[in-house]
Structures are given as structure tokens and as C-alpha cells.
Amino acid sequence: MPLTHAGAAFYFTKNSLLQHLMIQLKYKNNPESGYFLGRMIGAQLAKEPAFSAIDLLVPLPLNRKKEFKRGYNQAALICDGIHAVWQIPIARDAVERIRFTETQTKQNRISRWQNMEGVFHATKPQLLHNKHILLVDDVVTTGATLEACGSAILELGNTRLSIAAVAYTV
């Protein structure tokens, strides 16, 4: 997938403070941890010349059922934190996850890629057209989810795509 830039603020390791914050965010109903992490990455992005041409933040969408159950989309909260320190607009509903997928935490790399085929759809292409978009997620493992969503955005044509995540891991 052609990316303009990509970055992550941290390397994710088990039994770390970052893992604790991610658990709080995703499983313990603590949305403030997402906002906090977003402010941290936003401060880094705002200083990085490679990301200076970003026009729009797009949080990686959750399936509606999962978002309803959790009460929020963690990537959207991270975007809120980024926006608080780096005044880039957020397009929350420009892309939609149109198919429910089970959690990928226990899947191998190949299964993750296969699981993500055809999952995302750009619902408001007019918001994305002629923009340099920063697609935001919490943790990147294989990149399958970001690639599937990013591909749906790039299919529109005349868009540039960069990605950012709080953390990455292997």
C-alpha cells in the first residue's frame, strides 16, 4: 500500500505501563487513557516535519456492535487527544467497518490478513477527496487492519495516506 509516512510513538511490550494503559482503554472502560495517549502522540506528530502536511485525522473504525458494547472507539479517543495538541480536523464517520470481525489478538499473521478482506468502506468520500489523511490506530501488529482500511481510502483516488499508531509490536 503506498504510504506517504508512517509512525508509532512507542514499542509495545508485555507487562509495561503502555500495556496497562491499553488494557484500561480497551477492556476496563477508561476512555481517559486513550485521550492521554493521543495527546502524547499528538505532541510528537506536531513536531515532526514529515507529518506537517496532514489535512485530516481518520480513526480506524470499529464495528458498530463492538463500539456499542465498549461504549467508544479507542482510535477516535486517540484522535481526540491528537486534535487537542495538534489542531487537525477529525473525520469520524468518513470510513465504516461494514463487516464484523472477531478479535485478532489470538490469530496468526495470515489469518489476520484474510480476516480483514473487504471489511472497510469509505462512506463519505467527499470528506477524503484531495486530502492527506492520517489514519490512526492504537497498536499495530501485522498492519492488516490498517492496510485494509487504508486501501478502502486509497481506492477513492486523489488522496494521500499516512498512518500513525500509539504503538507497534511484532
Q: Is the pLDDT of residue 40 over 70?
A: yes
Instruction: Say what the pLDDT of residue 101 is.
Output: 59
Residue that wins the pLDDT comparison between 44 and 102: 44
Instruction: Say what the pLDDT of residue 110 is.
Output: 55
Instruction: Say what the pLDDT of residue 114 is.
Output: 62
Domain extents in the chain? 6-168
Which cell numbers in the block locate residue 40? 502524547
The CATH architecture one would assign to domain 6-168 is 3-Layer(aba) Sandwich (3.40)
Q: Is the pLDDT of residue 129 over 60?
A: yes
Task: Name the pLDDT band for 109 (thresholds 50, 70, 90).
Answer: low
d(Cα 80, Cα 19) in Å, to the nearest integer? 20
Q: Is the pTM of this model over 0.75?
A: yes
Instruction: Say what the pLDDT of residue 64 is.
Output: 85
